[in-house]
Each structure stands twice: as C-alpha cells, then as structure tokens.
A and B are shown apart, each in its own frame.
Chain A
C-alpha cells in the first residue's frame, strides 16, 4: 500500500468505545484496535503486540499507552512503539473525528 494514499472510512461513534477502553474493527484478515483515552483521544493500532501478537485491544489503557494482556508489554497508542526496555512496534493508523464520528485511514498504515 502506498503510504501517501489516504482512504478514510467511517467506523462508528466515539461513544461506542468506553473511556480507557478499546474496540476492534475487522478489515479483511487484519484486526485494528481503536482506543479511547480518558481525555477522549482516539488512536488506532493493529491489534497485534510486537512481542507475541497478543491482542492489544484486550489490554488496560492508561495515559497514552496500552499494556498487552499476554506479557505486559507497554505500547504507545500514538506511535505503536514498545515502551521501556522492550523493542518493537505495531502498525498505527490515522484517525480523525468529524463531530462524534470516527474516521479511520485504512489506506496508509504507518
């Protein structure tokens, strides 16, 4: 996919996701986890921990990070990069809001 090609798709409303929580969007074989922080920022990451592919959407969301439920890696919601001593990253996707509606950029994973 070309990183410059944008493809914005409406996936639902901010209120569909609990604060400090996450829900998934299925896109073919890819699952994308959509996160909502305590202050209503929305982020999207591929639902795969860089460590052992754990489902990040099932983790605990705190500040700007999520902790993977399998082995407690802490992943930045903004960059998809592992924090602390761990190394690795997962794909992150562009997100924008139009009113309460969330648009996800499935054209250019970063």
Chain B
C-alpha cells in the first residue's frame, strides 16, 4: 500500500523535493499537491527576466502538466489550504477539497512584507513575488509613467531594472545609505548605484517613505519624510519577505519567525515536515534557493527512511540584471581581527574585495567581473587556508600556481567537490561523471540529468567548460548557432534582446549586443533589418543599404546583371487590358523573355536596370503594382476558379484568395511566403504544399500550413477548420504574424513550425482566441506602414541614384 503524501504549496522547494523523492522511490508514494497559484511549478528565480522581457512564462516552467501526470501526482491548482486537521490527518482547501495524509509537507513559502504606510491599500501598490505580480507590473508598464520601487535590495533592484527596460521611468527608494547593504559593502553599493543611474534609474538612499499618496483610490505618488513628493503610476514594495506561517500556527505547530524544524526537517508534529522559505531552522530563515534545495533533498531522503540531516547553509548572492555582474558571499563587515584585500579598476568598473580572518576567506564581494565567485565561495565554505596564495588571491584562480590565464585551465584545476551550481548544489564531479557516464553532449542534457545551471543560469559558462573538458572537440559550445561571424548570439537571442532592450536601429543593436565588426556583414544586416522592421513597424526607418539587391531595387537580379519584373495579379486573375499593357511594355523595351510562373504570374525577364523605372511607369499606368516576387514577404496567393466556374467548387476560392492577397501584400516576413486557396479537396491550386493553404469544403475552410515544394518537399499540416471567410482570414493572418515575430531570418514556415512544434502553433492560433486576435491586430497595425507600392514610389523619383550611372566617361577622357 502506497503512503499518502500531501504537499501544501508548489514552489521551487517542493518541486525539487518531489523530483528527488521519485528518483529514490518511484512507486512508494501517492502524492497530492495543493497550489494556491493557478498554475504549474515555475522557476521563481527567473521572474526578473520575465519582467524585463528577456524570457516568457513558458520559458521558466520547471514542471509542466505532463510531468505531474507522468509521476501520477494529483495537482490541485488554485486551491489554497485553509485547514489542517491533525487529529484526523486531513487537509481542506478553501474551495472545498479535502485530502487525507500519512505524511504532510507544509511549504507555504513566504509573503512579501508590506510596510504599514498610509495608502498601502491603494490600487497600484504592488509586490514582487509571483507571476501575478509580474503581470500586473507589465500591464502598468504598458501604460507608461513612473514606477517607484521601495526597497533597494536584490528583489527591488531587479524589479527596477525590469520596469525600466519595459520603458517606465523608475525611482528606487532605499532606507539605508547604500544599496543591497546586506550583501554588499558601501563601495560596491556605490558602483551599483552608478550603474543604475547610467540606465536612467533614479536611486534615492536614506529615503524614509512617509506615505503613499492616492487620488480616486489609485496611487498618485510617494511622499518622503523630508516632504519630497515623487509622482508615481505604480509603487512596488520590495522590502523583504516574511515566512508564511499562518496555516501552521492555526494548526498548532510550533512557530517563531518561521515554522520551527529540527535537522530532520520535522515540525513539532512528527507526521508533518516543513520546507522552504516558511521554515526556521537553527534560528535561520532562508530566502535564497540553494538552502531550500538542500532542505528538499533532506526531506526526500527522510521520507524514504534514510536518516538525513540538514545542518544549515552558507549562501552566496548574484544579482540577475543583464549587464550588471555582482556576486557576494559570506560576511564582510569590518572588525579588528579581520583583514581585507581590495582590487579596484575604475576604467573597467571592477571592484573586488575579500575579507579574511585567520588566513581564511569569510566574505567576498565581486563587482564587474564575477567569474571567480564560485572559486572564492568554495574556499570560503571549506575554510581553506589561503596563506600560500595570499599575494595573488584577489586576481583569482587563474593566477594561482603560475597556471595560464585560461578559463579552461581554471575549471580543470577546480577540485572535484567544488560547487559549480550554487542554486542546485551541484559539484564538479557530479557534472563530469554524468557527462561521461550518461554520454551527455549538450547543455540541455546536463541540465536534465544534474540540474546544474537549470535555475538562475549564471553558472552556464562553467558547465559548458566542463562539457568541453570532458568531450574536447566533440562538444560544440555554440549549441546555439550564431547568426554570423559578427556575433556569438543566435537569431532567437538577438530577436529577444531587440525587444527587451528596445533596440530600434542597426547601430544600436550592434553596439548593445557587442557586434564584433564595425558594420556587420551581408548575413546579419538583412536579418537585423527585417527584425527591426517587424518589431517596430511604426518607428524603424528601413535601412536600404542592408537589403539584398532584389529588395533594394524591387526586381530580381539575373545571372547577367539584368533584372526580371513580375507585376502583381491578384489571385492569379488578369484581363485583356492588363495583358495588352504587358505586351506593349515588352515591345517598347525589347524585353527578351516573357514567362508564366508557378505562382500564376507573368515574369518579364532581361530588363536593364536603367530601364526599370520606365517599365514600372508603363505597367503602373495599367494599374499594376509590384508583385514582390523578389521579397522575403508575401509573394503569391494561387487560386482555382471555385464556385464561379467549377462544377465541383464549394466556396468562392478565387474571391478568398484575392481578399487574402489584398489584405497581406507588402508585408515583410522572415522568408518568402506563398499561399494558395483551393475550392474543393481536388486541390487544383496545390494548397497542400504551400507555406499556408486553404482547402474549401462544404462546411467551411480547412486551413493548412508548413508545406514545402522546393529544396524540400513536404505536405502541409492541418491547422484546423473554420466556418466563415472572415475567420479563415483572421486565422491565416494571425499565423503569419506569429511566424513574423518568431521566425529566424530566411527560415521558411515549415522549418519554423517544425522547430517550435506544430501543436504549439495550433494551440496559439486555434485554441487561444485572445492570442490570435492580438497577433491579428499587430499585423494590421504593421500593414499601415507596409502597404506602399514600391514601384510607383520609384517612378516618382525615389532612390533615383540607384538606377543611373554616376558618370559616363567619354572616350577622350579614357585615353
């Protein structure tokens, strides 16, 4: 008979406990989890990157629904436990679910501390604790204005940086004289304050908040004790956390600041354990993840009868703000019996300080350059005697023993039990052994098997070096393929950072993302230009010189340097008037070849560049616009004759094709987009090998996507069925917009959707109406700036220089 285990709370600590428990005893327990939040387990450490826009909620999920199902865990989301009946051994949630337990784990976490100020209950006073808080902040950021963050500790500063990146004005109020005073000494606090000022964030220290000023129940500002009033659209309180002990207290468990536990993690009731931030152990309460994970492992071991003990933790802190490197560990107050070693490099913005006592490190603060953090922390935890290397200690591990300044050598030199991943308590040998023993060859593999670098990710570099050491050449550290030789970043990172850092020009991208070349190359420039056009349709000024020649001159270059021109024929339908105009143009300019294309268009080949504007002028008079046959954009919508003529046609496929083409022409996409609409399943327009296709049937429209008929041949996937033309248009447009926002430059729809998963596309476009509508809206907005006929612009004189020689030298001058 399985033992019944009930867990109250579903944060990171119980998540880790369950993982470990199922490793030890896959079938020993029947587990029920109650989560007050309406979602699965996610990585709370990564809330700051979600706030800053560098990650999404989906990126930070630790255990998805499938995981709970696989492990046979019953998860009650949105169910807060309101009562523990210790006599009957049951718990009851506020939405009426009762579960009985043999063993109970209380992991109620912590609550943000709200300073009891006048105005604390006003609308717009937020805390920073869970995803709901982040969503509220993001919502406020969209409205703009100023955010006042009360509290200059770890959380407050991460919130401030995130809100700033989301475009808000930000002021940080901090009661103490310097930022993060619990983790940093005043010098590092000063550097940090300066770094925040450089980002346009106001920091006011020694700021005592008097009250939060409101207007109509809404936050309007913050008043300080000295009378200063700062306007604010939102106020974020990040002054600390309090262990969540209410439930334990009401149930009669022994509590002090937190729920009291012994080294075995048991509370005063032997059937009940406590875990996480709600715990008080040996008078310590922890708010960082590493100790919580150690507690989690202890409980899992004890549940399986392996007498384990938790004896407390030394902790290290890292600030997770992109571009600011900060590491601190231990104790660094000054005292008589302590010495310090300090290294400053003002130009490089580096500050390092080690606090020593009896030739042992007891504290370390690193700012600007933190790669030696884990090494110092290791020396600190082991209380290693450093007298032999004292002279060069501050320069870091690479300087010791005359070893070369090579990061690989530094990692190689680490002892087997050196801690690599502080969050998850994973040491070097565990990682190295897993790589060899389990044939791991990627970062993701290591994360899956050891958890190293799977939480905050700041030790990713070290883990990669261990992979290189173990695998040598076989390990390709750039599992992410860089965009080109100008950067180490892959396309996805660049796209994410363009949005997160609000980069709106190519020089800004190259500067902020540290491009290695002065002005890029022929690979990255067109890609960046596309990403910027897509992400900032109204603000970005297209960089003409970063477009491939075809998009620059709106025609297709041929092998002999002449061009081909394809006028748009909506849905592949033309008329005698149009054909006559084409015939006249062909005669007038002596165009050598006229060819019908696979996309139901007419291609005029062999036109000299100088003639292009005149050719377009003549075609334009007949009503033609550019067919964009050269564009990474919407090319053609191929149609059949549908109900107009065909005895099998079920819908007006021609009309729908033309409607889609008129709606979507001019849009730029990561790679070309070809579509088709067929009027019946006989599929004469070959919609099932297109990027997007529609098959009309009696009952409506079957939407297809991700086909290919070029280098690769692939039938489409079915997106879903809709009933009306309007719906068909909305779904198709939303799908293309999703692709525009996520696709890598030159990646066709079939490759993009295979990469992210066909089901994911269906989920966002078919199942999530809000998402679909938002995609649709963004496409419509961007079309306002995209639907300009490039041919008529050039006929009117735009980019004239492009089509004329700069000079034609006479023969006399040449001799």
Q: Which residues of A contact B (CB under 8 A)?
A: 7, 9, 11-12, 16-21, 23-28, 31, 34, 38-39, 52-55, 58-63, 67, 69-70, 72, 74, 106
Distance to closest chain A CB from B563 (angstroms): 10
B814 beta carbon closer than 8 Å to chain A: yes
Distance to closest chain B CB from A58 (angstroms): 4
Please state if A67 and B809 are interface contacts (CB–CB under 8 Å). Answer: no
Please state if A24 and B545 are interface contacts (CB–CB under 8 Å). Answer: no
Bound form: Cα–Cα A53–B553 in Å: 20
Q: Which residues of B contact A (CB under 8 A)?
A: 517-522, 525-526, 544-546, 548-550, 553, 557, 559, 561, 801, 805-809, 811, 813-815
- With A55-B561, A60-B526, A62-B525 as given contacts, are A28 and B549 in contact (CB-CB < 8 Å)? no
Cβ-Cβ contact count across A and B, 8 Å cutoff: 92
Distance to closest chain B CB from A12 (angstroms): 5
Please state if A106 and B519 are interface contacts (CB–CB under 8 Å). Answer: no
Please state if B806 and A25 are interface contacts (CB–CB under 8 Å). Answer: yes
Q: Is the interface of B mostly helix, strand, loop or mixed?
A: mixed
Please state if A38 and B519 are interface contacts (CB–CB under 8 Å). Answer: yes
Distance to closest chain A CB from B550 (angstroms): 8
Please state if A106 and B813 are interface contacts (CB–CB under 8 Å). Answer: yes
Chain A residues in 8 Å Cβ range of B548: 60, 69
Instruction: Provide a sorted-by-A list of 19 A–B residue pairs whose CB atoms are within 8 angstroms.
Output: A7-B814, A9-B809, A17-B801, A19-B545, A20-B519, A24-B805, A25-B807, A31-B805, A38-B519, A53-B561, A55-B557, A58-B557, A62-B517, A67-B521, A67-B522, A69-B549, A70-B559, A72-B522, A74-B521
- With A59-B522, A63-B518, A106-B814 as given contacts, are A69 and B809 in contact (CB-CB < 8 Å)? no
Bound form: Cα–Cα A17–B559 in Å: 24
Bound form: Cα–Cα A69–B557 in Å: 8
Task: Find B806's partner among A11, A28, A70, A74 (CB 8 Å cutoff).
Answer: A11
- With A58-B561, A62-B522 as given contacts, are A12 and B811 in contact (CB-CB < 8 Å)? no
* Other A-B pairs, 18, CB within 8 Å; known A34-B806, A67-B522, A72-B522: A12-B807, A16-B801, A18-B545, A19-B545, A23-B801, A25-B807, A26-B805, A53-B561, A54-B559, A55-B557, A58-B553, A58-B557, A60-B521, A60-B549, A69-B550, A70-B559, A74-B521, A106-B809
Q: Which residue of B lies closest to A34 (CB)?
A: B806
Bound form: Cα–Cα A24–B519 in Å: 22
Chain A residues in 8 Å Cβ range of B813: 7, 9, 106
Bound form: Cα–Cα A30–B561 in Å: 14
Please state if A38 and B518 are interface contacts (CB–CB under 8 Å). Answer: yes
Chain B residues in 8 Å Cβ range of A19: 545
Bound form: Cα–Cα A26–B809 in Å: 6
Please state if B520 and A62 are interface contacts (CB–CB under 8 Å). Answer: yes
Bound form: Cα–Cα A34–B805 in Å: 10
Please state if B814 and A27 are interface contacts (CB–CB under 8 Å). Answer: yes
Bound form: Cα–Cα A24–B319 in Å: 54
Please state if A18 and B544 are interface contacts (CB–CB under 8 Å). Answer: yes
Interface centre among A26, A59, A62 (most CB of B within 10 A): A62
